[in-house]
Amino acid sequence: MHRISALRLGSRARFEDRWSGTISALEITEDWEAVNVVVESGFLLWHSSVRLPLSAASDWSDDSVTFACTSRQAFGHEVPPVAVPSRPIGSDTPISAPSVTIAGALIDQAERKVQEIILSRGVAGHRRISVSDVTFKGKTLALAVQPQTLRRYRPDEEIRRSIHRQIRDDSGLTADDKRGLHFAVEGGVVTMSGNARVENARERAIETVQAIGGVTIVNDTSHDDLGLETMIGLALDRAGVGRHSEIYARSSLGNVQLYGYVPSAAARDDAVRAVAGVAGARDVTSRLEVQPAAA
């Protein structure tokens, strides 16, 4: 899965030796590949800017871009930009909609392809629009949809804080469910993992997260105890461990205990290995007794 991260205009630039400057523009090709960024630095009457290849950035997020070079190398023009036909986009890029400016872009960190543009609507906040819904007419970025109909954009860290607060305050979730479920946010996409007691708790958590502004998709990779116990039974059957055995699995937020009896120590070890390989089983404790089968 590719990582989609926001590169925001105005983000601070971090070099190997120090912080210096901010991102003022992004240069893109006709097929929306981000090739260069413009970093501006200075104070009062002294200003300096430099074009750096995006490939020199080892990472970026909502508030910073990290470059794998020193500030001296960067502003000394020792790191040449990518020399291909491109166009700059920044806060001064004309937009077909009034009172709307470009605030950044959501970029695939592996392919360096812009997926969405982040638009600022002043006090109305930020919105996100797919590059498939925009075209350039000369120097103007034309929007195919009205800005007010676009999805809201919020920084991932802000979304994470909202999720934590909403889940914490949800009286319909037990303390165990709140403790066992985990949420990761990447470009507005939320992945829910971990364990819950029952399926209804997972469904409630998903509904709660989906209602949070800025969330685009919720991917559920979590497990509930009853569903996990069912998958464990199927895994034991596939492994052939159930033959001449009587095994019961009990899960408590992914902590699995095995009860019953098996014909040998080897069969007990096979059962533990089979259960440990089931997705959602975080820890496996064996309370199985060895009872050799009668002749």
Q: Do 156-221 and 225-290 share a fold? A: yes
Return d(Cα 36, Cα 112) in angstroms, integer.
10
pLDDT digits (tens, 9 = 90+) for 186-218: 889 999 999 999 999 999 999 999 999 999 999
pLDDT digits (tens, 9 = 90+) for 74-90: 999 999 999 999 999 99
Q: Are strands 87-90 and 19-28 parallel, antiparallel or unpaired?
A: antiparallel
Spatial CB neighbours of 235, under 8 Å, sequence gap ≥ 6:
274, 275, 277, 278
- Please give the pLDDT value at position 43: 72
- Please give the pLDDT value at position 295: 43
| Average pLDDT of span 135-149 | 93
pLDDT digits (tens, 9 = 90+) for 228-279: 999 999 999 999 887 788 999 999 999 999 999 999 999 999 999 999 999 9
pTM, full prediction:
0.78
| Average pLDDT of span 164-176 | 96
pLDDT of residue 44 exceeding 70, the answer is: no
Of 3.40.50, 1.10.3470, 1.20.1630, 3.30.1340, which CATH number belongs to 156-221? 3.30.1340
pLDDT of residue 40 exceeding 90, the answer is: yes
Among 236, 289, 233, which Cα is nearest to 263's?
Answer: 289
| Average pLDDT of span 164-175 | 96
Written as one string, the DSSP assignment of the chain is ---EEEEETTPEEE-SS-EEEEEEEEEE-TT-BEEEEEEEEEETTEEEEEEEEGGGEEEE-SSEEEESS-HHHHHTT-SPPP-S--EEEETTS-BSSTT-EEEEEEEETTT-BEEEEEEE-GGG-EEEEEGGGEEEETTEEEESS-GGGSEE---HHHHHHHHHHHHHH-TTS-HHHHHHEEEEEETTEEEEEEEESSHHHHHHHHHHHHTSTT--EEEE--EEHHHHHHHHHHHHHHTTTTTT-EEEEEEETTEEEEEEEESSHHHHHHHHHHHHTSTT--EEEE-PEE-PPP-
Return d(Cα 32, Cα 134) in angstroms, integer.
11
pLDDT digits (tens, 9 = 90+) for 88-106: 999 999 999 999 999 999 9
Is the separation of the CB atoms in 136 and 114 below 8 Å?
no
What are the extents of the domains in the chain? 4-152, 156-221, 225-290
Is the separation of the CB atoms in 279 and 253 below 8 Å?
no
> Which letter, b or e, does each residue of 184-212 get, where b requires 16 or more Cβ atoms within 10 Å of its Cβ?
ebbbbbbbbebbbbeeebbebbbebbeeb
| Average pLDDT of span 144-153 | 92
- Please give the pLDDT value at position 47: 82
Return mean pLDDT, the chain: 93
pLDDT of residue 59 exceeding 70, the answer is: yes
CATH hierarchy code of domain 225-290: 3.30.1340.30
pLDDT digits (tens, 9 = 90+) for 155-168: 999 999 999 999 99
Residue in the block written with tokens 């009172």: 99
| Average pLDDT of span 128-147 | 94
User: At 123, is the pLDDT very low, low, confident or very high (cuts 50, 70, 90)?
Assistant: confident
Among 199, 218, 194, which Cα is nearest to 208's?
Answer: 218
Is the separation of the CB atoms in 65 and 14 below 8 Å?
yes
